[in-house]
Amino acid sequence: MSDVSPIKRVLVANRGEIALRIIRACHEEALEAVAVYSEPDRLAPHVRAADVAVPIGPAPAPQSYLSIPKLIGAARATGCQAVHPGYGFLSERAEFAQAVGDAGLIFVGPPPEAIRALGDKTEARRRMQAAGVPIVPGTMRPVADHVQARAEAVRLRLPVLLKAAAGGGGKGMRLVREEGELASALEAAQSEALKAFGAGEVYVEKYLEHQRHVEIQVLADSFGRVVALGERECSIQRRHQKLIEEAPSVAVTPALRRRMSDAAAAAASAVGYRSAGTIEFLLGPTGEFCFLEMNTRLQVEHPVTELVYGVDIVREQLRVAAGQPLRVHAGTLQPRGHAIECRITAEDPFHDFLPAAGTIAYLRPPAGPGIRWDGGIEAGNEVTLFYDPLIAKLIAWGETRAVALQRMQRALRELVIVGIPSSQAFHLRVMDDPDFQRGEIDIAYLERAGARLLSEEIRSELARPLAVVAALLAEECRTGAAPPPQPSTPWLPDRQSLWVHAARREALRE
Ligand code: MV4
C-alpha cells in the first residue's frame, strides 16, 4: 500500500482460516494486522500470525465475534484505521458496516446501503429487474396472505418456492408442489422466517428444476469501475452448505461467461457496489440464467477464482478500501487452467455429516505442485461446536480440469488428520465419481449420488483404513509409547509404512 494510504493497521474481525488469509494479504500490502480471539482460540494460528492480538471474550459468538462494541473497542484500542469482517459472523450486517463507519473506521466491504438493499431479497429483485438482470419469475413484494400466495402460485404454475424476504442461503424456504400444501407451507415459512430473521415476510418464486448453481465474482472500486472475474460452479452442496467448488464451470462457454459477467457487473453497478461481491445465478440445462441473490462479502470459495485469474481478491479489497483503483482490467482478464476446492470439515460423512468436536492430535497438510492449503488450525488446537466446522480449504490448480482433479486426488491422499473425523473420505469418493469427472453435476447431485458415494461397503473399504491410521497416530501422540514406524522420521512416517503398521496392529488386535 502506498505511503499516503489512510490505512496502516487493519482489525481482522474473524477467526480461523479466513482470519489467517486476511492477515497474509495485509502483510503483503505492508499493513499491520490485529487479530481478535475468543477464549478457546487463544492458541489459534491467526492469533500468532497477527502483529497484535486482542482477547474479546468467551466462546459463544454473541459474546465475542458477534459483539459489535467489543470489535470496535478492539480496533480503537489498537489504533486500527480499518476493519475487515471476513465471511459469516458480522460480514453481511449493514448495522456493523454502519457502526464501523460511525466510529471513524473504514469498513473493508461494500457501503451499508448496498448491504441493506441486497439483504432484502424482494428489494434486490426489484433492483435487478430495473437493471435488466434476468430474475426468476415470481412476486416482486412479499405476499399478504395464503389467498394471494395461491393466486400467484397458479399464475406462475406449480411447483413454487416460498422464500423469506429477509432470508438467503436457503433459510426460511418451502417448496410447494401442490395447491393443497400452500396454506400450511406459507405459515411454516413465515414463522420460520420470523424466528430466524425477526421478519416474517415471504414471497413466491417459480421453482426451477435441473439447475446448476453458478456465481460470478465481481470487484468494484470507488471510481465506478466494476470488474467481473468469471464464474464459480458451486452445485455440489448439502443443506445449502457448499462442499466442492470449481472455476471455470464446464457448463459455461466464453459467450455465456460474457453474458453472465455483464449481468453481474450491471447488478453491482445498480446498487452502487464497492469491494468484492458475488452474484448467485441458477443456470439451466439450455444456458438460460436467473439472478438468485447477491452476497455482499468475501466468500469461502474465493481461492478458485484467484487461481484461474491470477488476482488476489483480498489485496484488491484492501486497496479499494484505501481509496485506490483496482489493479485488474476487464479487457485483459482470461481464465487460465482449472481450480477445484474441497472444504475439509470436522464432520463425519458416514454419520449424516454429524459435526465433530475434539483436539487435532496430528495434522499433515498436503503440498506440492498446484496445491494450496488455506487452513487456520493445527495440531494441538481444539475444534469446538461453537463455530463453523471448516478445518481448511484444499485447492488444486491444473492446466486442465483433468490435471486439477488428479492433483486433488493426490493431495487428498497425502492429507492426514488425526484426532477428529473429517470429510476427507467423502471428497476422495466424489473425485473418483464418473459423473463428477464428466462434470455432470447440478444442485441435486448429492441427493442422487450420496448413497452410492457413502455406502456401508465404501465405508469399510475406505474409511476404515483412514480411521485406523488416524486412531493409531492419535494413540501414539497421546502415549508416546508405540515404536516409531521409521526411526528417521518418527512423526512423519510415509503412507505405506503407516498402512503396514496399521495392518499389523489390526492383526495383533484380532
Ligand atoms: C431456487 C431454486 C430453484 N428455483 N429458487 C437455495 C439457496 C438460495 N440461495 C436459493 N436456493 C434455491 N433457490 C428457485 N426459484 C433452488 C435453490 C436451491 C439451491 C440453489 C443453489 C444451490 C443449491 C441449492 C439447493 C437447493 C435449492
Residue nearest atom 9 of ligand 1, based on CA coordinates: 169
Q: At 486, is the pLDDT very low, low, confident or very high (cuts 50, 70, 90)? A: very low
- What is the predicted pLDDT for the residue at 501? 55
pLDDT (tens digit per residue) in 22-52: 999 999 999 999 999 999 999 999 999 999 9
Catalytic residue among 125, 212, 297, 429: 297
When the candidates are 3.40.50.1370, 1.10.3210.10, 2.30.110.10, 3.30.1490.20, the CATH number that belongs to 137-206 is: 3.30.1490.20
Q: What is the mean pLDDT of the chain?
A: 91
C-alpha cell at 481: 509409547
Burial (CB < 10 A; 0-12, 13-18, 19+), residue 126, is middle
pLDDT band at 204 (very low <50, low <70, confident <90, very high): very high
The residue whose CA has the least distance to atom 25 of ligand 1 is: 443
- pLDDT score recorded for residue 467: 61
For the Cβ of 240 lying below 6 angstroms from any atom of ligand 1, the answer is yes
CB-ligand 1 contact for 237 (6 Å cutoff): yes
Question: CA–CA separation, 101 vs 159, rounded Å?
Answer: 44
Q: What residue type is 305 in one-letter code?
A: T
What's the CA-to-centroid distance between 80 and ligand 1, angstroms? 39
What is the rounded average pLDDT of the residues 354-360? 93
Question: Cα(409)–Cα(2) distance, rounded to whole angstroms?
Answer: 41
Band (pLDDT 50/70/90 cuts) for residue 502 is: low
Grid cell for residue 306: 484467484
Q: Is residue 388 within 6 Å of ligand 1 at its C-beta?
A: no
Torsion angle (degrees, nearest 10) of CA 12, 217, 61, 344: -100
- Cell matching residue 424: 476427507
C-beta of 208 in contact with ligand 1 (< 6 A): yes
Q: How much is the pLDDT for 171? A: 80
Q: Is the CB of 312 under 6 A from ligand 1?
A: no
- Residue 131 in contact with residue 191, Cβ under 8 Å? no
Handedness of CA 168, 173, 179, 184 (dihedral sign): negative
pLDDT at residue 329 in the model: 85
Ligand 1 centre from 336 Cα, in Å? 29
Quote the pLDDT of residue 463. 55
Give the max Cα distance, the chain.
Answer: 75
Q: Which ligand 1 atom sits closest to the C-alpha of 206?
A: 15
Sheet holding 52-57, edge to edge: 52-57, 32-38, 9-12, 82-84, 106-107
User: Is residue 459 within 8 Å of 450, Cβ to Cβ?
Assistant: no
Identify the band that residue 332 occupies on the pLDDT scale cut at 50, 70 and 90: confident
Q: Establish whether 297 is a catalytic residue.
A: yes
| pLDDT (0 to 100) of residue 505 | 57
161 lines ligand 1 (CB under 6 A): yes
Cα separation, 11 vs 80, in Å, equals 6
Class of domain 212-453: alpha beta
Q: Per-residue pLDDT tens for 218-245? A: 999 999 999 999 999 999 999 999 999 9
CA gap 64, 54 in Å, rounded: 11
Q: What is the pLDDT of residues 438-448, one digit of tens each?
A: 999 999 999 99
| Secondary structure letter of residue 1 according to DSSP | -
* Predicted local distance difference test score (pLDDT) of residue 506: 54
The model's pLDDT over 139-170, given as tens digits with 9 standing for 90+, comes to 999 999 999 999 999 999 999 999 999 987 77
Please tell me the predicted confidence (pLDDT) of residue 239.
92
Q: In angstroms, what is the span from residue 127 Cα to ligand 1's centroid? A: 20
Q: Is 64:42 a contact under the CB 8 Å cutoff?
A: no
Q: If you ran DSSP here, which 8-state letter would residue 297 be given?
A: S
Per-residue model confidence (pLDDT) at position 206: 98
CA 170 to centroid of ligand 1, rounded, Å: 7
Q: Are 362 and 308 in contact (CB under 8 A)?
A: no
pLDDT at 127 over 60: yes
pLDDT of residue 484: 41
What is the whole-number distance in angstroms between the Cα of residue 449 and the centre of ligand 1? 18
Residue 121 in contact with ligand 1 by CB distance below 6 A:
no
Residue nearest to atom 11 of ligand 1 (CA): 170
Question: CATH assignment of 9-108?
Answer: 3.40.50.20
Ligand 1 atom closest to Cα of residue 170: 7
Q: Confirm or reject: Cβ of 136 under 6 Å from ligand 1.
A: yes
> Cell numbers 475434539 correspond to what residue?
358
Report the alpha-carbon distance of residue 231 to residue 255 in Å, rounded: 12
- Cα atoms in the 13 Å half-sphere on the side-chain side of 380: 4
Question: Could you report how far apart the first and last alpha carbons of the chain are, in Å?
Answer: 62
**Ramachandran quadrant class, 55 (left: phi over 0; alpha: psi -120 to 50; beta: rest):** beta
Which contacts qualify for 486-495: CB closer than 8 Å, 24 or more apart?
491/362, 492/364, 495/413, 495/414
Among protein residues, the one with the nearest Cα to ligand 1's atom 12 is 170
Q: Which residue's C-alpha cell is 471455470?
A: 248
Q: Is the CB of 213 under 6 A from ligand 1?
A: yes
pLDDT tier at 361 (50, 70, 90 boundaries)?
A: confident
- Give residue limits of the domains in the chain: 9-108, 137-206, 212-453, 460-509
> Which cell is 77 given?
484500542
On whether the CB atoms of residues 277 and 218 are closer than 8 A, the answer is yes
> In this predicted structure, what is the pLDDT of residue 490?
34
Q: How far is the CA of 210 from the centre of ligand 1 (A)?
A: 11
Q: Give the SS3 label for residue 457.
A: helix
DSSP states along 231-289: EEEEEEEETTEEEEEEES-TT--HHHHHHHHHHHHHHHHHTT--EEEEEEEEE-TTS-E
Ligand 1 centre from 397 Cα, in Å? Answer: 28
Which stretches does DSSP call E strand in 58-130?
Answer: 82-84, 106-107
Q: What pLDDT score does 482 carry?
A: 47
ω before 483 within 30° of 0 (cis)? Answer: no
- Give pLDDT, residue 491: 37
